[in-house]
Amino acid sequence: MRVTPNGPLLVRGAETIRDEEGVAHETTRPVVAVCACGKSGRKPWCDGTHKVVRRGRA
């Protein structure tokens, strides 16, 4: 797993990601971007919203 500054968690080799409610989300991708900002409209996946949120704070 790799943490990106102000962005998602990049997870390599995961078959399942569990969200904060314990719901399992399966994936077949070699690398997935998991939302760490809490603002994604596609949780648990990052949808790029963190870029807008960060810009709004500046």
Q: Quote the least distance from Cβ 49 to ligand FES, whole Å.
A: 4
Nearer to ligand FES, 24 or 53 (CB): 53
Angle made by CA atoms 7, 5, 28, in degrees to the nearest 5: 45
CB 26 within 8 A of CB 1: no
Q: Quote the least distance from Cβ 12 to ligand FES, whole Å.
A: 17
Count Cα neighbours of 48 within 13 Å in the Cβ-side half-sphere. Answer: 0
Q: Quote the least distance from Cβ 57 to ligand FES, whole Å.
A: 13
Nearer to ligand FES, 32 or 46 (CB): 46
